[in-house]
Amino acid sequence: MTGGPGVIVRGPVRYGIEHELALLRADGSLADFATLSHAEVAAVVDELPELPDDQHDLRIGDAGIRCKRWYAEGYERLDEHGELWRFDPKGIEIRTAVHDSVEAAESALCADAELLARVAARHGLRPVAFGFHPARSAYRLDPPANAHERTLMASSPEERTAHLHMVTWGPDLNLSFPECGTDPADLADAAAKLTYYSPYLVPWSFSSPFRDGRPWVGESARTSRRTGPRPAALAYLDPAATLLPTDPSLTRHAAIPGEIGRIEFKAFDAVAVLPGEEPADGGRAGLPGALLSLLTGVLRDGTLTGRRRTPDALAHRRAALRGWSDPAIRSGSQAVLDAAATALRGEPGHLERLASLQVLLTRRENPATRMLARHRAGGGIPGIVTAPHGA
């Protein structure tokens, strides 16, 4: 759907980042759900500090796995009574507490990522950021879902498609606007705006140009496979509010008071926050913060009129396949960047970060293009170990 300019958010912004990371072993192979045990991930997380002061911002979850800012990310298998009986990990996630600036959120994330990298190295693991599993395209429940799990899957579009996330990695970038209130219609409008413009926002993050052990036909196998069946953006509402009946969801009830009013963008590929997380040479620091500034500007803008309650899967596939080589995608990215810059005029920190995105757009450069260039130069595919020549 499209409409008028809708709600323009104003005032201060609060930020949080959820950062998913894959894990490589010392030989360069990917430690995934088929080869990685929950005990291995738990051994890393157990060494990291528990900081109770953050709990008012962070959800723990029913299974109790998310007790820290770092936790095992994966798929929870439940028995017929709804009790956790197995956990299949896909990596580790870092989540920040909520901060009053992009700089503070990104600084906190970098500090936690550095600590994770040091601890993981002691266990023979290296956290890396890429968007799609380079060798496996699917995760299948084995054994098949039981009656309780099937009921859970039917409870929401996201539960039904939860298995898709097991072969993908990417950040959730969270924004809230304390002075704008928590009106459900306003929050849904903000999420619908980001959903509409998502195909033009995501190319900056593309980091999944490999699939099934070889270069994929485009730059983001993650976007092509995932966005459409799963949301691009979510608005978190008061538990008493009525949710919009969309598939996938656009609105969700907040699980804790601190989530009410949060806008969460979920469609970016994984992006590195540290040089060590970059799976190809030439990583660029500060991309998560720049993307937060971009989302801030789009939501503060009053000229972009597009709105969609569900992602345009075809537009996302077009962006995933062609990236900025497609004139329409490139033009759309330039339009959202220009609108964001205009909306944030007078805020130097935001504008400096947006200028870094302009450089990437002008060069048509993102993590995927660097990964492909490294592969063409003989650098292989991150996460796949190739036998030495003659072996």
- Please report which confidence band the pLDDT of residue 2 belongs to, taking 50, 70 and 90 as the band edges: very low
Reported confidence tier of residue 33, pLDDT bands at 50, 70, 90: very high
**Separation of alpha carbons 249 and 229, rounded Å:** 10
Reported as a single tens digit per residue, the pLDDT across 104-155 is 999 999 999 999 999 999 999 999 999 999 999 999 999 999 999 999 999 8
CATH code of the domain in which 69 resides: 3.30.590.20
Whether the CA torsion 246, 17, 119, 281 is positive or negative: it is positive
Percent of the chain scoring above 90 in pLDDT: 84
Task: For the chain, report the end-to-end CA distance as a whole number of angstroms.
Answer: 57
The verdict on residue 366 lying in a domain is yes
Domain of residue 216 covers 14-379
Interatomic CA distance for residues 170 and 132, integer angstroms:
9
Kindly indicate the confidence band of residue 199, based on its pLDDT and cuts at 50, 70 and 90: very high
When divided into structural domains, the chain yields a total of: 1
Q: Are the C-beta atoms of residues 317 and 224 closer than 8 Å to each other?
A: yes
In the chain, where does DSSP find H-type helix?
Answer: 38-46, 102-122, 147-153, 157-160, 184-201, 221-226, 287-300, 313-322, 327-343, 348-363, 367-374
Query: Across residues 36-56, what is the average pLDDT?
Result: 86
Q: Is residue 6 part of a domain?
A: no
- The DSSP output letter for 29 is B
The string of pLDDT tens digits covering residues 328-358 is 999 999 999 999 999 999 998 999 999 999 9
Q: Does residue 128 sit within a domain?
A: yes
In a domain, 213, yes or no: yes
Give 237 or 63, the one with higher predicted confidence: 237
Share of the chain above pLDDT 70, in %: 92
Which residue, 339, 273, 295, 79, is CA-closest to 194?
A: 295
What is the C-alpha separation between 198 and 166, in angstroms, rounded? 22
Q: What is the pLDDT of residue 202?
A: 98
| 215: β partners | 210
Q: Which of 31, 52, 54 is nearest to 43 (CA)?
A: 31
155 torsion bin: left (phi>0), alpha (psi -120 to 50), beta (else) = alpha
Parallel, antiparallel, or unpaired for β 251-253 and 233-237?
parallel
- Let me know if residue 384 belongs to a domain: no
Which DSSP category does 379 fall into?
I
**For residue 348, is it within any domain?**
yes
| 210 in a structural domain | yes
Q: Which pTM value belongs to this model?
A: 0.94
Tell me, yes or no, whether 386 lies in a domain: no
